[in-house]
Structure 1
Amino acid sequence: MFILYFIIGLFATTLGSIAGLGGGVIIKPVLDFFGHYDLSTIGILSAATVFSMATVSLIKMRKMDVKLDKLNSALIAAGSILGGFIGKAVFNYFVISLGISKEMGIFQSILLALLLALIFVYFKYKHAMKRFKIENKAIILSIGFVLGLLSSFLGIGGGPLNVAVLSLLFSMNAKNAACNSIFIIFFSQLSALVLAGVTTNIGDYNLMMLPYMIVGGILGGLIGTSFVHKLTDKQIEKIFNVAILAILFINIYNVFSY
């Protein structure tokens, strides 16, 4: 079990740091698939693992020739923190207050599968679509709010949503979108962990596997970031698309398994 959860953390965050997925979008459906933990515990495991990956990735990126759009990414991150608080509050209301964890699991898997399908289609045909360069600060903040709301509610950290939005609305190439996505994920996962610590009793969760997943997340961040500057935009985009397709099928399976 310890080795399994270490490998999940390592694999998810290695892919996540390379393609900007973060890792939560992989960890959440995979842990759903194994069924060892409830949705709330999975959220804590995922957030802590992805946050550890994002921390080491950002430290390594400082020494790399990577273009971070710090102003716009910071605005998106600020909006996503606020949206994340509301998304988590809505999630807690349904899972904890109403006690409909199973129904929420089904809904999360269906909604995530639909979003992943849309993202996959966008990246497959983006060459034929118009892309934008949004500069209005209020709109950027609002975009971050929606991303944070969805990501927190789904418990995925926002990776694929961030990358798609940064590509479509800010005309970023695959490498820059991936790196800016990690920057946003760092703040969104930090806020998710702070919110969990303030609003819930951490002692109620079974976090026995957390240290092993965090170690996997740290190694995944180190390994993944070391590959980023060696890969071309096309290679990163291909990794992103393959990962999205695999996660999509896992979510479809989870819908039926629920």
Structure 2
Amino acid sequence: MFIGFVILFLIGLVSATFGSIVGLGGGIIIVPALTLLGPALLNETISSPVAVGTSLTVLIVTALASTVTYVKQGKVDFRSGWLYFAASGPASILGASFTGAFNGPAFQLTFGFFMLFMAGLMVARDYLKPVHIDWSIQRVLVDASGTEHRYGYNVISALLVGVGVGLISGLFGIGGGSLFVPLMVLLFRYPPHVATATSMFVIFLSAILGSATHVALGEVDWLAVAALAPGAWFGGKLGARIASRMSGKGLLWLLRITLFVLAVRMIAAGL
């Protein structure tokens, strides 16, 4: 059992580090790890709904740690973040209530193909002709280093993205960043660093609501949370620091590779 706790601590550390670097939150590692390794690490089989609920609970810690670091770097756009959350918050509760309908192979296949689609979309981004949309809301963000970032959106499109983020977050326990960050970069032309930082802020808020639903449904393994959370806290801070030292192009490639590898793994497990 002690070895299992150590491994879960490391899983929490690694998942939060990667999750906060690319703005996904870490659930893309924690959920598969719990469903596949639960019997070996905790001497119990962890169902998909419980894995999702546990991941979302740990996600609160990860997102808080990384958001605090990103705020110090001046890369969180709170104004747009609250707008996204206005839609993603209620949607995360709805998504969490449907998790029980996806269990076993059905959950793994749905999860895997979704991530594969997003990975393909991010790769196609380099080969598609950029679409310049004259959004009604234009944002200018100056970070702590003095770098100016420009991007835009409108209220309706931002709320629709928020709904998608919330549903994915509550349903799959991955924070929704796998949908949020690509859309912010592709559709609204956010710089990758600002998209990642703002995504983690919205994920923090959405994870609180989504995990509360899973707690009410009894779909949280608190033993796993206790083992994962300390690593997630340190990983969240570490990932945000690493991201600040990476180029925008490097962040995008890390996101693509992460999505593709985990998509293949989940599809294989579902089949």
Q: Shorter-chain TM-score: what band?
A: 0.7 to 0.9
1:32/1:138 CA distance change after superposition, 3 Å:
same
Q: What's the counterpart of residue 80 of structure 1?
A: 88
Q: What's the counterpart of residue 16 of structure 2?
A: 13
Q: What's the counterpart of residue 29 of structure 2?
A: 26
Q: Deviations over 1:63-122 (max 9, x none)?
A: 2142x3322222212211111111122224x3xxxxxxxx63322222222221221112
* Distance in 1 between residues matched to 2:164 and 2:156, nearest whole Å: 13
Task: Please identify, of 5-14 and 175-184, the stretch whose mean Cα deviation from structure 2 is larger.
Answer: 175-184
1:87/1:18 CA distance change after superposition, 3 Å:
same
* TM value normalised by structure 2: 0.83
* TM value normalised by structure 1: 0.86
C-alpha contact (below 8 Å) 2:168/2:175 kept by paired residues: no
* Distance in 1 between residues matched to 2:120 and 2:158, nearest whole Å: 23
* Distance in 2 between residues matched to 1:234 and 1:180, nearest whole Å: 18
Match of 2:59 among 38, 50, 62: 50
Q: Deviations over 1:154-196 (max 9, x none)?
A: 2222121111111122111222221111111111101112223
> SS in structure 2 opposite 1:253?
helix
Determine whether 1:157 maps to 2:175. Answer: yes
Q: What's the counterpart of residue 166 of structure 1?
A: 184
> SS in structure 2 opposite 1:61?
helix
> SS in structure 1 opposite 2:25?
coil
C-alpha contact (below 8 Å) 2:17/2:235 kept by paired residues: yes
Match of 1:91 among 80, 95, 99: 99
* Distance in 1 between residues matched to 2:24 and 2:167, nearest whole Å: 17
* Distance in 1 between residues matched to 2:188 and 2:129, nearest whole Å: 13
Q: What's the counterpart of residue 120 of structure 2?
A: 121
Which 5+ residue runs of structure 1 have no aligned equivalent? 95-102
Q: What's the counterpart of residue 146 of structure 2?
A: none
Task: Please identify, of 205-214 and 49-58, the stretch whose mean Cα deviation from structure 2 is larger.
Answer: 205-214
**Identity across aligned pairs (percent)?**
23
Please report how far the alpha carbon of residue 218 of structure 1 lies from its aligned counterpart in structure 2 after TM superposition: 0.2
Count how many residue pairs are aligned between Structure 1 and Structure 2. Answer: 243
C-alpha contact (below 8 Å) 1:8/1:27 kept by paired residues: yes
Which 5+ residue runs of structure 2 have no aligned equivalent? 39-44, 136-151
Please report how far the alpha carbon of residue 201 of structure 1 lies from its aligned counterpart in structure 2 after TM superposition: 4.3
* Distance in 2 between residues matched to 1:179 and 1:24, nearest whole Å: 17
